Amino acid sequence: MKRLAILGSTGSIGTQALDVVAAHPELFEVEVLSAHSNAAMLIEQAGKFKPNAVVVTDETKFDTVKSALASLPIKVFKGAEALNDVVQWDSVDMVLGAIVGFAGLHSTLAAIEAGKRVALANKETLVVAGEIVMQKALEKKAHIIPVDSEHSAIFQCLVGEDMEQIEKVILTASGGPFLGRKPNYLVNVKASHALQHPNWTMGAKITIDSATLMNKGLEMIEAKWLFGLKDEQIEVVIHPQSIIHSLVQFKDSSVKAQLGLPDMKLPIQYALSFPRRIGNDFKRFDFKDYAKLTFEQPDYKTFRNLALAIDAMHKAGNAPCVLNAANEVVVHAFLQNKVGFLEMSEMIEKTLERVSYIEHPTLEDYEASDKEARVIAAELAKNSQLSIY
């Protein structure tokens, strides 16, 4: 029985993780649930799973949650500091980090500090501060198991392998809803178009990142730290069918791949149950349904976010942190139809140019760079023609 702290339980990953837990009550028990502001869903989840504690980080929602759960033996806490505290409880065996964006960094670090096993769905934690996070995990002997489908695929391919024999890893990307489109089309797309992903059901932010290919750039940076790779060992290929989730090529030229239908519950379940594989009733992949699996190179010129992310990975230092912060701000603005699809890349690039570069940042430097980048990106978004009119 693993006792879980599920951070970001009301989001896409969190809700699917609870589906996995509900299907295997003999294996998993919910110790902690957390949400930012979705009080109604958090209350519903707490009523169903009866955790020891819940944390709501939007403190204006605390009274609502506290009142609704008053008749149940559930502790209710508020604020980010409370989140950092509960993940370190002795009663927590494993932490699922599914908070979106930079906001998930400190709670993940707190869990690692306590030596917890972490199922990591928050890629921004490693994008922003990968070197610090992985060094701390090594120091505290805290195991990090990836939940992203691509990194889960790589992780699965590497079980039992000698890490020194990796030649390269190949991250697959669906290409999103605008695969093959050119700038003259993309200049007019709205958030409602970009949210229509052809294969995956995900949260709004990650779906937009998939449409711009920023998600794949962030995943490259995450893979670098997660698997201890050099930049040149990481590639991206467009695979529209989303059946092969990623591949590993070894020094003897052989390639291993993990295949499956696009369903996030599988990598979530694998991360929670590792090193065991457990059965489920998920729909099975059948080769007869897929006459062709195709691959092509990304269009770096049209989808410039991928190129910007690769440049930030090469530059290292605080550049990935700045990239991530600017992206979070402009994606939020795009979702409100305040900036254009192609404008997002321009604003991220300008933010990277304006924030001072730090080659060897501390955690405090990352926090300062994140704040500075957000201010600059927000100002650029505010001055967008779409925002003005």
pLDDT of residue 201: 75
Rounded mean pLDDT of the chain? 96
Sign of the Cα pseudo-torsion (352, 353, 359, 364, in order): negative
Looking at the fold, whether 68 and 164 belong to one and the same domain comes out as no
pLDDT of residue 51: 98
* 171 has pLDDT over 80: yes
pLDDT of residue 34: 98
Residue 269 lies in a domain: no
Least confident of 75-79, 121-125, 266-270, 297-301: 121-125
CATH of the domain at 176: 1.10.1740.10
Looking at the fold, whether 39 and 87 belong to one and the same domain comes out as yes
Looking at the fold, whether 311 and 376 belong to one and the same domain comes out as yes
Q: Over the stretch 215-251, which tens digit does the pLDDT of each residue have?
A: 999 999 999 999 999 999 999 999 999 999 999 999 9
Least confident of 46-60, 194-208, 292-306: 194-208
Distance CA 211, CA 194 (A): 6
Q: Helix 214-226 and helix 319-335: axis angle, to 10°?
A: 150
CA distances from 326 to 36, 70, 176 (A): 21, 40, 21
**Do residues 13 and 206 make contact, with C-beta atoms less than 8 angstroms apart?**
no
* 26 has pLDDT over 90: yes
Please name the residue that has the structure tokens 């697959």.
172
Residue 367 lies in a domain: yes
Reduce the DSSP state of residue 248 to 3 states and report it.
strand
CA angle, residues 128, 100, 183, in degrees to nearest 5: 80
pLDDT of residue 388: 53
What is the arithmetic mean of pLDDT over 64-78?
98
What is the arithmetic mean of pLDDT over 348-365?
97
pLDDT of residue 73: 97
**Do residues 111 and 32 make contact, with C-beta atoms less than 8 angstroms apart?**
no
- Helical residues (DSSP H) of the chain, grouped into ranges: 12-23, 39-49, 62-68, 80-86, 105-113, 124-140, 149-158, 183-186, 191-194, 204-212, 214-226, 265-273, 304-315, 319-335, 343-354, 363-382, 385-388
CATH of the domain at 107: 3.40.50.720
Residue 352: is it exposed, middle or buried by C-beta count within 10 angstroms (0-12/13-18/19+)? buried
pLDDT of residue 109: 96
Q: Helix 343-354 and helix 319-335: axis angle, to 10°?
A: 150
What token pair was written down for 268?
């979530």
Looking at the fold, whether 141 and 157 belong to one and the same domain comes out as no
Q: How confident is the model at residue 268 (pLDDT cuts 50, 70, 90)?
A: very high
How far, in whole angstroms, is CA 168 from its chain's centroid?
Answer: 22
Least confident of 5-9, 198-202, 301-305, 379-383: 198-202
**Do residues 118 and 138 make contact, with C-beta atoms less than 8 angstroms apart?**
no
Amino acid type, 36: H
CA atoms within 13 A on the CB side of 38: 17
Looking at the fold, whether 26 and 81 belong to one and the same domain comes out as yes
Looking at the fold, whether 53 and 22 belong to one and the same domain comes out as yes
Domain boundary among 118, 146, 174: 146
Distance CA 54, CA 9 (A): 10
Looking at the fold, whether 162 and 243 belong to one and the same domain comes out as yes
What token pair was written down for 244?
């092969």
Residue 280 lies in a domain: no
Please name the residue that has the structure tokens 């190129």.
307
Distance CA 352, CA 323 (A): 6
What is the arithmetic mean of pLDDT over 31-50?
98
The total number of structural domains that make up the chain = 2
pLDDT of residue 137: 97
**Do residues 97 and 14 make contact, with C-beta atoms less than 8 angstroms apart?**
no
What is the arithmetic mean of pLDDT over 343-357?
97
The C-alpha torsion from 294 through 299 and 300 to 303, rounded to 10°, is -110
Beta bridge partners of 76: 54
Residue 60 lies in a domain: yes
pLDDT of residue 389: 43
Residue 273 lies in a domain: no
**Do residues 127 and 219 make contact, with C-beta atoms less than 8 angstroms apart?**
no
Domain boundary among 112, 146, 180: 146
Q: How confident is the model at residue 387 (pLDDT cuts 50, 70, 90)?
A: low
What token pair was written down for 109?
């670090």
Q: Over the stretch 307-327, which tens digit does the pLDDT of each residue have?
A: 999 999 999 999 999 999 999
What is the arithmetic mean of pLDDT over 280-297?
95
Domain boundary among 127, 146, 165: 146
Least confident of 141-150, 171-180, 378-387: 378-387
pTM: 0.94
Looking at the fold, whether 206 and 307 belong to one and the same domain comes out as yes
Residue 169 lies in a domain: yes
Q: What percent of the chain has pLDDT over 70?
A: 99
Beta strands (DSSP E) in the chain are 2-7, 28-35, 53-56, 75-78, 94-97, 117-120, 144-146, 166-173, 234-238, 244-250, 255-259
* 366 has pLDDT over 90: yes
Q: What is the DSSP letter of 325?
A: H
Please name the residue that has the structure tokens 């944390």.
55
Distance CA 2, CA 199 (A): 31
Q: What percent of the chain has pLDDT over 90?
A: 94
Residue 186 lies in a domain: yes
Looking at the fold, whether 326 and 356 belong to one and the same domain comes out as yes
Looking at the fold, whether 114 and 156 belong to one and the same domain comes out as no
Residue 283 lies in a domain: no
Looking at the fold, whether 123 and 180 belong to one and the same domain comes out as no
For residue 139, what are the domain limits? 2-146
What is the arithmetic mean of pLDDT over 168-172?
98
Looking at the fold, whether 109 and 174 belong to one and the same domain comes out as no
